Structure 1
Amino acid sequence: MYTPQGKVTQSEVLAQYAPLVRRLALQLVAKLPASVDLDDLIQAGMIGLLDAAGRYKEDQGAQFETYASQRIRGAMLDELRSNDWLPRSLRKTSREVEQAVHEVEQQVGRAPSETEIAAHMQMPLTDYQGMLQDLHGSQLIYYEDFDRGGDDEPFLDRYCVDHSDPLSALLDDNLRSALIEAIDRLPEREKLLMSLYYERGLNLREIGAVMEVSESRVCQLHSQAVSRLRARLREQSWTAAPTN
């Protein structure tokens, strides 16, 4: 096994770069639900680190830490993909919110407010906002959205030419255009939040400072924005015939 310092043992690699693995794991887990275990990510990252040390060659033109960081992040993402880290109960809650957003939007002809959605779901606003808080870490697209064999009927069929390759579907121009349109229809506050989070890479605390709201409120607004986007993509697949 080789690193920039020459031939070393696995123990030496783990000891020297363990802080890097932990730092990358903390950066990732900060954007995920509380159900994600930090130690599991660190363990996966350590495996990625050892893989990087075994594959690294000095003539690759990259510093070892840069090369290793990519391998470590990849191993952590593989760990997340291999585990259903958003509990099934929260997936069900997420679908209920999406359905409510869709139905209220059809009634009022615009992006509904949280109060309107809560009323439609027959619950107090505070309970609805607590639900959004619980959904922090929900994703815009899951692998199951392309899975014809799953319990739930997939709603991205319109965009997916090859269902065996979700990545190709995500890169498809039709899906990108639909997503851009859905983002443009978000309320201005949620549109700003998504821009700060995904384009500028600010964390929730930093976004809260910019928007002058609490970090927990940012979590709620982010979950609401994701629900709106998923509802919009679902609506388009409901109302349009699949493309060939």
Structure 2
Amino acid sequence: MYTAKGRLDANAMLKQYSPLVRRLAHQMIAKLPANVEIDDLIQVGMIGLSDALTRFDAGQGVQFETFATQRIRGAMLDELRGSDWMSRGDRRHQRSIESAVHKLEQKLGRAPNESEIAKEMGLTLADYQELLGKVRGTQLVYLEDMSGDDGDDDYLDRHIAADETANPLSLLNDHRMREALVEAIKNLPEREQYVMSMYYEHDMNLKEIAAVLGVTESRVCQLHSQSIARLRSKLREW
């Protein structure tokens, strides 16, 4: 789209490619903690799109959408790197919960209950549940590099920056991961299975899930975080 003077019509282009920004934002946020706001990613993505319009040179032989996608994703990644999207303390707490769950599963041969996990961590049940609330932003998988690396940039570059759809091996690995994940979910305690199903399969929010289960929203948050710890423990050796 060009103006009468032969220049890109910025307003028309922004409108045309704004769905691309939203699509990229939704793809990216699926791998990030829930405390990252989709609107924030879209906002910086639009800035990246605007920057792409300014810098695009058709003479380079690159399609605009390809060029814009790189600039949009780059703007989003820069925003994530520049913000405390998941504190080191939260990652440390998450790994501690996972380690306790893993150790107890090996010892007991079953899924440990909350009291057992709290005792293993040297916490009271109340303190353990409070900790679960603090790590509420964790995701099903790809929360961070499975190697345990603390580097935010390393995580982003490994799991977000790359165009996974262009790599057949990544797609195959993703399929295998999904199969392992489905099997792991089947082994969760019944109530936690309900939470994961409502949250991820039926796109229900915490408030809606709380109403169905007859518990508080904070309790659903705790169950969700604990489910994540159990799943990541199961998938640790995948």
Q: Smaller-chain TM-score range?
A: 0.5 to 0.7
1:33/1:86 contact within 8 Å kept = no
Give the aligned partner of residue 136 of structure 2.
136
2:138/2:228 contact within 8 Å kept = yes
Farther off after superposition, 195-204 or 42-51: 42-51
2:102/2:234 contact within 8 Å kept = yes
Instruction: Give unpaired runs (5+ residues) of structure 1.
Output: 56-69, 153-163, 238-244
**CA shift in 2, pair 1:107/1:41, >3 Å:** same
Give the aligned partner of residue 122 of structure 1.
122
**CA shift in 2, pair 1:116/1:143, >3 Å:** closer
Give the aligned partner of residue 89 of structure 2.
89
Q: Following TM superposition, by how much is the alpha carbon of 1:41 offset from its aligned partner in structure 2, in angstroms?
A: 3.0
| Counterparts of 1:76 and 1:113, CA distance in 2 | 42
Amino acid at match of 2:123: M
1:170/1:176 contact within 8 Å kept = no
1:219 aligns with one of 213, 218, 221? 221
Amino acid at match of 2:212: V
| Counterparts of 1:51 and 1:202, CA distance in 2 | 36
Q: Following TM superposition, by how much is the alpha carbon of 1:101 offset from its aligned partner in structure 2, in angstroms?
A: 0.3
| Counterparts of 2:190 and 2:96, CA distance in 1 | 24
TM-score normalised over the length of structure 2: 0.64
Q: Following TM superposition, by how much is the alpha carbon of 1:46 offset from its aligned partner in structure 2, in angstroms?
A: 2.7
Does 1:181 find its partner at 2:176? Answer: no
The superposition leaves residues 67-124 of structure 1 with CA deviations (integer Å, 9 ceiling, x where unpaired) of xxx99x9788656764661111111110000000011112221111111100111111
| Counterparts of 1:110 and 1:9, CA distance in 2 | 59
**CA shift in 2, pair 1:210/1:151, >3 Å:** closer
Give the aligned partner of residue 145 of structure 1.
146
Q: Following TM superposition, by how much is the alpha carbon of 1:199 offset from its aligned partner in structure 2, in angstroms?
A: 0.8
Q: Following TM superposition, by how much is the alpha carbon of 1:37 offset from its aligned partner in structure 2, in angstroms?
A: 6.4
TM-score normalised over the length of structure 1: 0.63
- Taking the TM superposition and a 5 Å limit, the aligned residue runs for 1:196-235 are 196-234=198-236
The superposition leaves residues 116-168 of structure 1 with CA deviations (integer Å, 9 ceiling, x where unpaired) of 10011111111101111011111221352268xx459xxxxxxxxxxx88774
Q: Following TM superposition, by how much is the alpha carbon of 1:52 offset from its aligned partner in structure 2, in angstroms?
A: 9.9
Give the aligned partner of residue 65 of structure 2.
none
**CA shift in 2, pair 1:228/1:12, >3 Å:** same
Give the aligned partner of residue 66 of structure 1.
none
2:47/2:75 contact within 8 Å kept = no
Instruction: Give unpaired runs (5+ residues) of structure 2.
Output: 3-7, 57-68, 152-161
Amino acid at match of 1:141: Y
Does 1:99 find its partner at 2:60? Answer: no
| Counterparts of 2:180 and 2:13, CA distance in 1 | 49
Farther off after superposition, 46-55 or 207-216: 46-55
Q: Following TM superposition, by how much is the alpha carbon of 1:227 offset from its aligned partner in structure 2, in angstroms?
A: 0.4
Give the aligned partner of residue 63 of structure 2.
none
**CA shift in 2, pair 1:33/1:142, >3 Å:** closer
For these two proteins, the number of residue pairs brought into alignment is: 196
